[in-house]
Amino acid sequence: MMKLTRYVVYDIIRNKVIMAYTLFLLVVSLSLFQVEENQGKAILSLMNIVLIVLPLVSIVFATIHYYNSYEFIELMLSQPLGRTRIIFSEYAGTALSLLMAFLLGVGIPVLIYSPDDSGLSLLFTGCCLTLIFTSLAFLASVKARDKARGIGSVLLLWFYFALIYDGLVLLILFNFSDYPLEKITLLLTALNPVDLGRIFIMLKMDISALMGYTGALYKDFFGSGTGLLFTSSIMVLWIVLPLLWAIRIFNKKDI
């Protein structure tokens, strides 16, 4: 298993896109920490970048990488290797490279300038989002044989999680504002890993006081040990379920 993953990682880290991505993250985080006086503000700006850019790069890069390695996968399939092992090694290799890029680009500056609760929760969320969106990318690319279709659906997924979903939630909250919605909003956030990550980070910062009654409820819930457990397990579900689904499809697929 490790052998195959190693070849995938070796192939990816020599890729110029992943180097540029690492450098971009590094420059952005370093300059944010330099410019902002207040570390909390820097973390907040960094959070917005992480929540938008990270999923986009992870999902698009993983998809393109999958289609580009199609030949490699074909070659591996004619060898005495199981299908699950092949697709999982591909996933592990891609996810590991993206994680390395994130930890180098954002992890190091955060650990230098702001190694506190909010910084660590930012890193935790970033790692989870990388894994989640790589999983989703694999699911989409295993499903679609056609490259253009695969990348298109992946972009739609990103739009949905990053932009459309929030709009839908706002719409619901606005239309049903006469009812007590606190519990439901909590449930709704769990259905979007980006939102979940955002709330998880924000509640570790002082600004959560600005969020009013809902914020208080959130703080009560996410601040506790159960909240951490809840967030982690939902994130893990978001990583594992799409991946398992992708593996299932891949195992039945004709190459």
Partner 1 sequence: MIRIEAISKKFRKLQALDNISAQFEKGQAISLIGPNGSGKTTLIKCILGMVRPDKGNIYVGGHPVKQEHEYRRMIGYMPQIGRYPDNMRIGQLFSMMKQLRNDKQGGLDETLVEQFGLKKIYDKPMRTLSGGTRQKVSAALAFLFDPAILILDEPTAGLDPLSAEILKARIIEQKKKDKLILITSHILSDLDELTTHVMYMQDGKMVFLKGLDTLQEQTGELKIGKAIARIMKADGDQEDWIKKMFTPSNEQKIY
Question: Quick one: how far is CA 114 from the chain centroid?
Answer: 21
Q: How far apart are CB 76 and partner 1 at their closest, in Å?
A: 8
Instruction: Please compute, for residue 70, the number of CA atoms within 13 A of its CA located in the half-sphere on the CB side.
Output: 13
Tokens 């499903």 label which residue? 143
Q: How far apart are CA 65 and CA 98, in angstroms?
A: 12
Say how far apart CA 36 and CA 49 lie, in whole Å.
Answer: 15
Q: What CA–CA distance (Å, rounded) separates 136 from 154?
A: 8
| Non-local CB neighbours of 218 within 8 Å, separated by 6+ positions | 186, 199, 203, 208, 211
Residues forming contacts to partner 1 in the complex (CB under 8 A) are: 3-4, 7, 11, 14, 68-72, 74-83, 252-255
> Position 107: which residue type?
G
Closest to partner 1 by CB, 49 vs 81, is 81
Cβ contact 251:77 at 8 Å: no
Q: Write down the least CB distance from residue 81 to partner 1, Å.
A: 6
Q: How far is the CB of 86 from partner 1 (least distance, A)?
A: 9
Q: Which is nearer to partner 1, 34 or 68 (CB)?
A: 68
**Smallest gap from residue 65 Cβ to partner 1 (A):** 11
Cβ distance to partner 1 smaller for residue 10 or 159: 10
Three-state DSSP class for residue 128? helix
* Distance of closest approach, residue 62 Cβ to partner 1, in angstroms: 16
Nearer to partner 1, 232 or 251 (CB): 251
Nearest distance, CB of residue 83 and partner 1, angstroms: 7
Looking at the Cβ atoms of 41 and 147, the one nearer to partner 1 is: 147
- Nearer of residues 3 and 178 to partner 1, judged by Cβ: 3
Among positive and negative, which fits the CA dihedral 243, 245, 246, 251? positive
Q: In terms of residues, how long is the chain?
A: 255
